[in-house]
Chains A and B, each alone.
Chain A
């Protein structure tokens, strides 16, 4: 398996534009997580899905952020409209099950909003 695949690797956009980040989890993994990494807050969980259903979105910072998982092999994180403070590295991760198991991370998308 190629692991968790995220695209794009880098995204530069202007403030106010819509940004869509994409993720393909590892096949067979039931859980998918979106994390954001910033210098100030470190790695923080934004939202996670179980069997394509959003379970906990309490980490989503604002209504400008939304995430979907239309099927088991694809998820998107959308920011509309984007703001400079959204600049961060966004990671997608997947895991086989809840509980005592590690999550596997993608390489991340570095988002810069100017």
Chain B
């Protein structure tokens, strides 16, 4: 039972264009969401997060949008750069109580084409 779903295993985007990565969740208790980026042979590294009290958080080229009613979040990268090619994981947690630790999606492999 996947509580965090990333339905696109891979995504190919041209350099300079916008990359949009999507994530859906089923557990309404999740109240904190994160995106991690992972290069081969490395551990995931934190990219950006959003609390459920917000619907948007921006950090440079990266923006995360949260739609609580749809249980959906997305990561926008604009403009996309070759170094953005990596696997992106969506993660969720219940910050307000209950279990700690992050529940991850299976990841989306983003490929930026020159």
Residues of A within 8 A of B (CB): 4, 31, 33, 35, 41-45, 48, 50, 55-56, 91, 93, 98-100, 102-108
Contact = CB atoms under 8 A, between A and B. Distances in A.
Interface string B48-89: 010100000000000000000000000000000000000001
Interface of B: 32, 34, 36, 41-46, 49, 51, 89, 93, 95-96, 99-107
Nearest to A31: B100
B34 A102 contact: yes
A57 B13 CA distance: 40
A99 B43 contact: no
B102 to A, nearest CB: 6
Contacts of B43: 4, 91, 93, 105-108
A48 B101 contact: yes
A45 to B, nearest CB: 4
Nearest to B49: A102
Chain A binding surface, main DSSP class: strand
A108 B36 CA distance: 15
Contacts of A50: 100
A48 B95 contact: no
B32 A44 contact: no
Contacts of A4: 43
A55 B46 contact: no
Contacts of B51: 100
A99 B99 contact: no
A36 to B, nearest CB: 11
B31 to A, nearest CB: 9
A57 to B, nearest CB: 11
